[in-house]
Structure 1
Amino acid sequence: MRIDSVRLGHYAVPLANPVSDAKVATGRQRPLSQIDVLTCEITTDDGLGGLGFSYTTRAGCRAQFAHAREVAGNLLGEDPSDIGRIYDRLLWAGASVGRSGVATQALAAVDVALWDLKAKRAGLPLAKLLGAYRDSVRVYNTSGGYLQAPLEEVKEKAGQSLGSGIGGIKVKVGQPDTREDLRRLAAVREHIGEGVPLMVDANQQWDRVTALRFGRAVEELGLVWIEEPLDAYDAEGHAQLAAALDTPIATGEMLSSVPDLVRLIDLRAVGYLQPDVPRVGGITPYLKVAALADHAGLQVAPHFVMEIHVHLAAAYPRDSWVEHIEWLSPLFRERLDIEGGRMIVPDRPGLGLSLAEEARAWRLDDFRTSKGR
């Protein structure tokens, strides 16, 4: 079995309504109106295929697409089961641009496609290929808690999420006026009740003093975690907060290399580590981080892309949380099932995903290379 062809696609998936988090509230970014996705479809000479994807928000996907296109030829003729060797080969093909950021995020789509293909060849869902601990994972919703939404809308969407079987609610904080954050948060807690898991996300917009004061002010609310209270690269600051507060700290989604995430582990800077498969460079590096996190006794709550992370969370020894954000759902024919506060791991081989016909309307670029060309 050898890789016969590789196809890359760049898609711009529109959101139904633009959303704003604290980065918008502080003037650092514009509202988010679309998700850019890099897809990779790998086909072998016996006709089996694997599908993978990466993503960016606001900028970067054209760069990912360009880098993936440059290195894609290195896949042709390779045995797709040799994922580690292929990953290393692709890293060296682009060594001059480094081993993080755009360079490895471009490889993430390829790496995910190779794992999808390997699981399909085995006739197993990816979670079971990796060694599943469970057939469902805890799930919380984020998409209903953004800052552009009035408080009454946030409360209404929280109720709808819980009514649909989702088990927890996350709301955005980090506005310039912390008192407004506290007011909205207290109202949401009252609305959903004391027993419902509740998380908050400041999207890196506080300094250390503000984060500490906020953390102390919300201790009585029984939050599952406080997410990204500080700059993503301030590992020492997160470690100080983790030591000072009873509420666990969660971060890691913005980090795009294994060493950056390992630093959070080594400093005991988090209670919940939040690696993101597309951002860290694929499933191969994610698994390295997850093994170290488990060794350190940490919880893992991977960020976004529930379509991939439901499998990885099911294969983590500790019962993880997966983030429900439905923005990429229109790309795929299949849907994920949720019941009783948990997301069900698909029983289809691989990731259990295929691109929807409707997705063609969002395709901005396309590239294919094969052994026959």
Structure 2
Amino acid sequence: MNHPDSLLTGQLARDRIEHIRISSVFLPLAAPISDAKVLTGRQRPMTEIAILFVEISTADGHRGLGFSYSKRAGGPGQFAHAKEIAPALIGEDPNNIARLWDKLAWAGASVGRSGLAAQAIGAFDVALWDMKAKRANLSLAKLLGAQRDSVRCYNTSGGFLHTPLDQLLVNTDISRAKGIGGIKLKVGQPDRALDVKRVETVRKHLGDDFPLMVDANQQWDRPTAQRMCRTFEQFNLVWIEEPLDCHDAEGHAALAAQFDTPIATGEMLTSVSEHWEFIRQRGADYLMPDGPRVGGVTPFLRIAALADHAGLMLAPHFAMELHVHLAAAYSREPWVEHFEWLEPLFNEKLDTRDGRMIVPTRPGLGLSLSERVAGWTAQATEITN
């Protein structure tokens, strides 16, 4: 006679992925966005964000929604890669998420397991985790073993370099009124004196103790980074972000060892191994993995485990709709970046209160696509059994 638990396991194992919808969506921004990479001539202002959505359905009627993204370039490439590898999931058990990540990686192995290839996988991986949490009737945070019901949050969208200084002060007041607990300013422009003036003015406006961060977006060389980190020590910053090239683990480690102000980096890294190099060399006090960029929840959890073992603090980059769940499960008190840019894509919005972002209690990510997404969809495809 079969044990009831064995029967249940067999029933779950019989569920199979039978339908996948992939869509490439271009979300327009309200105004062109400029950071230091624009002012140094390396990039053009950003006017839209390319979103890769993946919707997965199973034979038993379970559904999962996942997404990845790209800025300025890469959206069509992510869609093309996702379209090629998606058939590998048809007929598979959606509960075997780690194995399916590997299967997707091998399906596109000739173009690597990082960068655009990993970002395409990320949308599938997030969808599978969303489905798994929904099936358990738990939020993703609870499924992962949440440490907290809210996470410290800081605003970035109001502090870009295209924003005049007087408006910058207005934006900080708006963020604080919304219950956001920190402000990040973009720096790294060619005239370093302007960076110092903006940080000094905002620090005076906020007071000595309100959490304030700066982000140079990789635009300093090593001598400049040393000088600027030394200058910024006086402003009691939570961190200085990406003072050097995103792959310069040795240089970041030297700054982290030399200065009291913590060093933050990691958002541009696209694999577990790239993050491990920074963890190994202690090239960050705050590690900033980006779930969609590293390939979804599965590799993010591996990075978080390594970071926790090394005693690092965590501050996931962008995509707060996903990262609020992942940060809630980290053992050390993290930060989540508040960007309202993706809000038009979803029917639900995240709440902020008393300096913290409230973790949604709805099953899964707690997200559903808004009607406006259809109007921004450039191409879509469906894969079935």
TM-score by length of 2: 0.96
Q: 2:157 is paired with a residue of what secondary structure?
A: coil
Deviation at 1:95, TM superposition (A): 1.0
Give the counterpart letter for 1:303 in structure 2: H
* Alpha-carbon distance in structure 2 between the residues aligned to 1:179 and 1:211: 14
RMSD: 0.5
Deviation at 1:195, TM superposition (A): 1.6
| 1:164-207 deviation per Cα after TM superposition (whole angstroms, max 9, x unaligned) | 10000000000101111000100000111112100000000000
Deviation at 1:359, TM superposition (A): 1.1
| 1:197-223 deviation per Cα after TM superposition (whole angstroms, max 9, x unaligned) | 000000000001111111111111100
Gaps of 5+ in 1: none
| 1:64-112 deviation per Cα after TM superposition (whole angstroms, max 9, x unaligned) | 1111101111111111000011111111111111111111110000000
- 1:212 matched to 2:226? The reply is yes
* Alpha-carbon distance in structure 2 between the residues aligned to 1:160 and 1:61: 32
Residue of structure 1 in register with 2:112 after alignment? 98
Residue of structure 2 in register with 1:11 after alignment? 25
Contact 2:156/2:184, CA 8 A, preserved across alignment: yes
Residue of structure 1 in register with 2:55 after alignment? 41
Deviation at 1:27, TM superposition (A): 0.6
* Alpha-carbon distance in structure 1 between the residues aligned to 2:161 and 2:210: 21
Residue of structure 1 in register with 2:188 after alignment? 174
Give the counterpart letter for 1:364 in structure 2: A
* Alpha-carbon distance in structure 1 between the residues aligned to 2:50 and 2:358: 26
Counterpart selection for 2:371 from 341, 357, 366: 357
Gaps of 5+ in 2: 1-14
Aligned residues: 371
Counterpart selection for 2:152 from 138, 146, 149: 138
| 1:112-154 deviation per Cα after TM superposition (whole angstroms, max 9, x unaligned) | 0000000000000000000000000000000000000100001
- 1:2 matched to 2:16? The reply is yes
Residue of structure 2 in register with 1:77 after alignment? 91
* Alpha-carbon distance in structure 1 between the residues aligned to 2:50 and 2:319: 13
Task: Give aligned-pair identity as a percent.
Answer: 62
Residue of structure 1 in register with 2:40 after alignment? 26
Residue of structure 2 in register with 1:248 after alignment? 262
* Alpha-carbon distance in structure 2 between the residues aligned to 1:327 and 1:33: 11
Residue of structure 2 in register with 1:52 after alignment? 66
Q: 1:191 is paired with a residue of what secondary structure?
A: helix
Q: 2:273 is paired with a residue of what secondary structure?
A: helix
* Alpha-carbon distance in structure 1 between the residues aligned to 2:174 and 2:369: 28
| 1:330-373 deviation per Cα after TM superposition (whole angstroms, max 9, x unaligned) | 000000011000000000000000100111110001010111xx
Contact 2:140/2:363, CA 8 A, preserved across alignment: yes
Give the counterpart letter for 2:188 in structure 1: G
Deviation at 1:4, TM superposition (A): 1.1
Deviation at 1:271, TM superposition (A): 0.5
| 1:270-295 deviation per Cα after TM superposition (whole angstroms, max 9, x unaligned) | 10000001111111011000000000
- 1:265 matched to 2:282? The reply is no
* Alpha-carbon distance in structure 2 between the residues aligned to 1:90 and 1:48: 20
Residue of structure 1 in register with 2:12 after alignment? none
